[in-house]
């Protein structure tokens, strides 16, 4: 059973539209992550989030992307103006407190840009 | 091992045999490593982890070996079962206060009943 629930499971959007992907942790986690996986390729880090701030971000996470935790529960990834190359699986992950704790992933949202 | 382009290396084993999946990691400063299993349509599922100050760690039916000299990680699965069929990824944490994970390209394990 994943420690996070991601919605929607599949999102189809026209290029240029905004999308919001949601992640709800099962228990009270403090450390959140977004990764993406383009079809057939490896999982890539996007961003980490702790205490309502971005801790780290990759080169992929440009100005088109943003994250927030608006209500203390949901953790969201927003892509403002989607491009064809944004088509991928997007995974949310959480990590328990403690330095050497693994990240636990949700089952992802498949984003398809038309 | 590492994959090229979209083609994952594949390991086929008979049910009941032991499996060994290998991974070459890139950063000699990485301080923590994780093996994940990914089944079709699902997210990466944690299997086992190991810190860089260890060279071996055992779990239930799984063992991870770390060789820092050659930057090599392996996952051994004992008595492989059909339910073990999946893509397996190694992931490394770069250390120096960073918690982002860098994933390898994955190995597809197929178990022959």
**Whole-number Å distance between alpha carbons of A22 and A1:** 18
Per the prediction, chain B carries an average pLDDT of: 92
Query: Which segments within chain B are labelled E, that is strand?
Result: 10-14, 19-24, 32-38, 45-51, 56-58, 62-67, 72-77, 86-93, 102-103, 107-112
Could you give the C-alpha distances from B11 to A10, A76, B100, B109, in angstroms and in order? Answer: 30, 37, 28, 5
Residue B7 has a pLDDT of 66
- The predicted-structure confidence for B43-77, as pLDDT tens digits, reads as follows 999 999 999 999 999 999 999 999 999 999 999 99
Q: What parts of chain A have a pLDDT lower than 50?
A: none
A102 contacts in chain B (CB < 8 Å): 34, 46, 49
| DSSP secondary structure string for all residues of A8-21 | -SEEEE-TT--EEE
**Whole-number Å distance between alpha carbons of B73 and B66:** 5
Where does the pLDDT of residue B1 fall: very low under 50, low under 70, confident under 90, or very high at 90 and above? very low
Min Cα distance A33 → chain B (Å) is 8
Q: How many CB atoms lie within 10 A of CB B54?
A: 13
Q: What is the torsional sign of CA A68, A74, A77, A81?
A: negative
Task: Provide the chain B residues 20-39 that lie in CB contact (below 8 A) with chain A.
Answer: 32, 34, 36
- The predicted-structure confidence for A60-70, as pLDDT tens digits, reads as follows 999 999 999 88
**Whole-number Å distance between alpha carbons of A53 and A31:** 10
Residue B99 is nearest to which of A2, A43, A48, comparing CB atoms?
A48
Min Cα distance A45 → chain B (Å) is 6
Residue A38 tokens read as: 């383009």
Residue B95 has a pLDDT of 86
- The predicted-structure confidence for B19-34, as pLDDT tens digits, reads as follows 999 999 989 999 999 9
């Amino acid at each position: 059973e994943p420690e996070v629930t991601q919605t929607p499971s599949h999102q189809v959007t026209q290029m240029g539209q905004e999308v919001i992907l949601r992640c709800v942790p099962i228990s009270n986690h403090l450390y959140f992550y977004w990764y993406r996986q383009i079809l057939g390729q490896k999982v890539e880090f996007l961003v980490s989030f702790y205490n309502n701030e971005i801790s780290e971000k990759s080169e992929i996470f440009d100005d088109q992307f943003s994250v927030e935790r608006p209500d203390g529960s949901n953790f969201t990834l927003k892509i403002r103006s989607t491009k064809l190359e944004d088509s991928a699986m997007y995974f949310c992950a959480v990590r328990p407190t403690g330095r050497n704790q693994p990240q636990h992933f949700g089952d992802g949202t498949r984003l398809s840009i038309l | 091992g590492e994959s090229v382009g979209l083609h994952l290396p594949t390991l086929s084993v008979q049910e009941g045999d032991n499996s060994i999946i290998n991974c070459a990691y890139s950063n000699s400063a990485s301080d923590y490593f994780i093996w994940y299993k990914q089944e079709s349509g699902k997210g990466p599922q944690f299997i086992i982890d190991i810190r860089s100050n260890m060279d071996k760690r055992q779990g239930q039916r799984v063992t991870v070996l770390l060789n820092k000299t050659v930057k090599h990680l392996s996952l051994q699965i004992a008595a492989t079962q059909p339910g073990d069929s999946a893509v397996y990824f190694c992931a490394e944490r770069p250390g120096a206060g960073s918690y982002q994970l860098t994933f390898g390209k994955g190995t597809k394990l197929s178990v022959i009943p």
